[in-house]
Amino acid sequence: MANTILVGAQWGDEGKGKIIDVLTEDADIVVRYAGGNNAGHTVFIGKQKYVLHLVPSGILRKNKLCVIGNGVVIDPVGLVDEIKGLRKLGVQVGDNLIVSETAHLVLPYHRELDAQREVLKGKNKIGTTKRGIGPAYGDKAARVGLRMIDLVNPERFEEKLRLRIKENNEVLRALGAKPLSFKQVHAEYRAAGNCLKPFVANTVVLLHQAMRRGDNILFEGAQGTFLDIDHGTYPFVTSSNTTAGGASTGSGVAPNKMDEVVGVMKAYTTRVGEGPLPTENAEIADLLHGMGREFGATTGRARRCGWFDSVATRHATMVNGIDEIAVTNLDGLDTVETIKVCVAYRHGKARYDFVPNDAQTLAECEPVYVEFAGWRTPTDKARKWKDLPAKARAYLKAIAESTGAKLAIVSVGPSRDQTIFV
Ligand code: GDP
Ligand code: IMO
Ligand code: MG
């Protein structure tokens, strides 16, 4: 398998968790490299559903090492809860999980500021997950962040936290919000720090030792290409580099040690939160929501839905260097009579075959569609390429071709076995 980066090629929730779980069979190590507990990665094993937020999805398989890399922002209280929740479901979490000592912390003032800024933005809000992600990465860039290495050093943590709460309370007061109690935050975070101490290590050194042993690493992307802080639909994005480049900076494994990039995409398009979504369409949204699908794994919000956008996935292939694609949720289109695929955008007299950088322009773009006849047959029981209806194969081939990468995996249901290797 070698070192593989798996990224979301759309707006997040592409089914990365499911595909990571499938691919982990051949990996030794799974590394999360970006984002925080804004992510929600769903894995089904049998009838049991697991939703991972910070812990890599590889944790569900035995004898796999899971690493939370330096590029991730960690809410320590949330991480402790997640570990406890997994253990309650019988998942072993012990020396199979390692957390980078240089990963930054999400603190209660980050969450509070996230919420306050959204209110201030009014109708221009981003629709964040309110997990404090933006303010936490902001502090990292401003060089005032606290890291895991601080959390597990009681004296240093107390000193730094006291200063940060003092400053942030000034800001919160100015915004009309309630200031935080240092004592309360300190007690809560120290308790979480004590629980997490055994997991904290120098993950860069550890990953390089593992590579020298010949271990295969799978890098688990969070969010999606168009939520990337540089390459997404700014400002309607998250605050990290979710694209393939983030795997190197967020883990300390250099670009020339990466062997392959897998892009995960749904057979249609979804987005949670605000911002442009050129192929958004009420008919497909009603259909999917009516089936009980496309509700957010982290916030429970209904996801916005639209047709497959090959302009976006082609762009994603370019910025991530996607070699192979995994198309998920094919079964979501099983009942559709005529399926549309966006092949270009029209904006006034201009025609785009790439994603324009200005979010306003993108929001005004009209999709140019080509139509495919639906197969109108259930696909969830297909296990081989030839089991799929001919019209479904034609559709998959066309979207892979328009995306410009090799079709490698097709997913026809949430379970491990509902996976077709092409
Ligand atoms: P992630 O954030 O990319 O890991 O994706 P989420 O877990 O947030 O959302 C993907 C949703 O699609 C989850 O509910 C998965 O269980 C589900 N899913 C993934 N692949 C398939 C598939 O091929 N068919 C169906 N029906 N559901 C799928
Ligand atoms: P996974 O890993 C889908 C979206 C939010 C919002 C924007 C900014 O499960 O694919 P943030 O809280 O990060 O400041 O929110 O990004 N968002 C996601 N959408 N899947 C995710 O993660 C997301 N993580 C953040 O809805 O629009
Ligand atoms: Mg998700």
Q: pLDDT of 234-256, one tens digit each?
A: 999 999 999 999 999 999 999 99
Query: Are residue 350 and residue 308 in the same domain, yes or no?
Result: yes
Q: Of the residues 7, 20, 33, 38, which should be mutated to test ligand 2's pocket, given the most ligand atoms within 8 Å of the CB?
A: 38
Give tens-digit pLDDT for 268-310.
999 999 999 999 999 999 999 999 999 988 888 999 999 999 9
Q: Which two tokens stand for residue 410?
A: 């097709």
Instruction: For ligand 2, atom 25, name the residue with the nearest CA.
Output: 38
Helical ranges in 53-200 per DSSP H: 76-88, 108-121, 133-141, 148-151, 154-174, 182-196
Task: Give the C-alpha separation, 75 to 283, whole Å.
Answer: 38
Phi and psi at residue 309, in whole multiples of 5°?
Answer: -115, 100
Task: Give the C-alpha separation, 411 to 267, whole Å.
Answer: 9
Residue 187 CB contacts under 8 Å (≥ 6 apart), including other chains: none
Query: Are residue 21 and residue 134 in the same domain, yes or no?
Result: no
Give tens-digit pLDDT for 357-371.
999 999 999 999 999
Q: What is the pLDDT of residue 1?
A: 65
Instruction: For ligand 2, atom 15, name the residue with the nearest CA.
Output: 128
Cβ-contact 293, 299 below 8 angstroms: no
Query: Are residue 181 and residue 209 in the same domain, yes or no?
Result: no
Predicted TM-score (pTM) of the model is 0.97
The closest ligand to the CA of 38 turns out to be 2
Count of domains in the chain?
3
Cβ-contact 239, 193 below 8 angstroms: no
Reading the chain (422 residues) residue by residue, the pLDDT tens digits are: 689 999 999 999 999 999 999 999 999 999 999 999 999 999 999 999 999 999 999 999 999 999 999 999 999 999 999 999 999 999 999 999 999 999 999 999 999 999 999 999 999 999 999 999 999 999 999 999 999 999 999 999 999 999 999 999 999 999 999 999 999 999 999 999 999 999 999 999 999 999 999 999 999 999 999 999 999 999 999 999 999 999 999 999 999 999 999 999 999 999 999 999 999 999 999 999 999 999 988 888 999 999 999 999 999 999 999 999 999 999 999 999 999 999 999 999 999 999 999 999 999 999 999 999 999 999 999 999 999 999 999 999 999 999 999 999 999 999 999 999 99
Task: Give the C-alpha separation, 404 to 310, whole Å.
Answer: 9
Residue where a domain stops, chosen among 234, 261, 288: 261
Task: Give the C-alpha separation, 146 to 294, whole Å.
Answer: 35
Task: Give the C-alpha separation, 354 to 346, whole Å.
Answer: 11
CATH of the domain at 131: 1.10.300.10
Q: What is the pLDDT of residue 298?
A: 84
CATH of the domain at 396: 3.90.170.10
Helical ranges in 4-90 per DSSP H: 16-23, 76-88
Ligand 1 neighbours by CB, cut-off 6 Å: 8, 12-18, 40-42, 44, 297, 328-329, 331, 411-414
Ligand 2 centroid–CA 315 distance in Å is 19
Nearest to 336 by CA among 303, 302, 367, 377: 377
Ligand 2 neighbours by CB, cut-off 6 Å: 8, 12-13, 38-41, 126-129, 131, 133-134, 222-224, 227, 238-239, 272-273, 297
The closest ligand to the CA of 224 turns out to be 2
Query: Are residue 109 and residue 71 in the same domain, yes or no?
Result: no
Task: Give the C-alpha separation, 105 to 72, whole Å.
Answer: 9
Q: Of the residues 272, 280, 305, which should be mutated to test ligand 2's pocket, given the most ligand atoms within 8 Å of the CB?
A: 272
Query: Are residue 302 and residue 376 in the same domain, yes or no?
Result: yes
Task: Give the C-alpha separation, 175 to 217, whole Å.
Answer: 44
Query: Are residue 91 and residue 33 in the same domain, yes or no?
Result: yes
Nearest to 257 by CA among 271, 247, 266, 265: 247
Ligand 3 centroid–CA 396 distance in Å is 23
Query: Are residue 291 and residue 414 in the same domain, yes or no?
Result: yes
CATH of the domain at 248: 3.40.440.10
Three-state secondary-structure class, residue 278: coil
Query: Are residue 186 and residue 85 in the same domain, yes or no?
Result: no
Helix (H) / strand (E) element for 212: namely: helix 203-212
Phi and psi at residue 421, in whole multiples of 5°?
Answer: -90, 120
Ligand 1 atom having least distance to the Cα of 49 = 16
Cβ-contact 373, 391 below 8 angstroms: yes
Domain coverage including residue 213: 4-103+197-261
Residue where a domain stops, chosen among 142, 162, 196: 196
Ligand 1 centroid–CA 296 distance in Å is 10
Query: Are residue 70 and residue 113 in the same domain, yes or no?
Result: no
Three-state secondary-structure class, residue 119: helix
As residues whose CB is below 5 A from the ion ligand 3, the structure lists 13, 40, 297
Query: Are residue 180 and residue 291 in the same domain, yes or no?
Result: no
Task: Give the C-alpha separation, 140 to 160, whole Å.
Answer: 14
Query: Are residue 364 and residue 272 in the same domain, yes or no?
Result: yes
Ligand 1 centroid–CA 71 distance in Å is 24
Ligand 2 centroid–CA 339 distance in Å is 27
Task: Give the C-alpha separation, 240 to 59, whole Å.
Answer: 23
Instruction: For ligand 2, atom 20, name the residue with the nearest CA.
Output: 12
Residue where a domain stops, chosen among 139, 168, 196: 196
Residue with tokens 């499911």: 18
- Positions marked catalytic: 13, 41
Angle at 59 between CA 56 and CA 60, to 5 degrees: 125
Query: Are residue 86 and residue 204 in the same domain, yes or no?
Result: yes
Ligand 2 atom having least distance to the Cα of 8 = 10
Task: Give the C-alpha separation, 218 to 152, whole Å.
Answer: 28
Three-state secondary-structure class, residue 350: strand
Residue with tokens 């399926």: 339
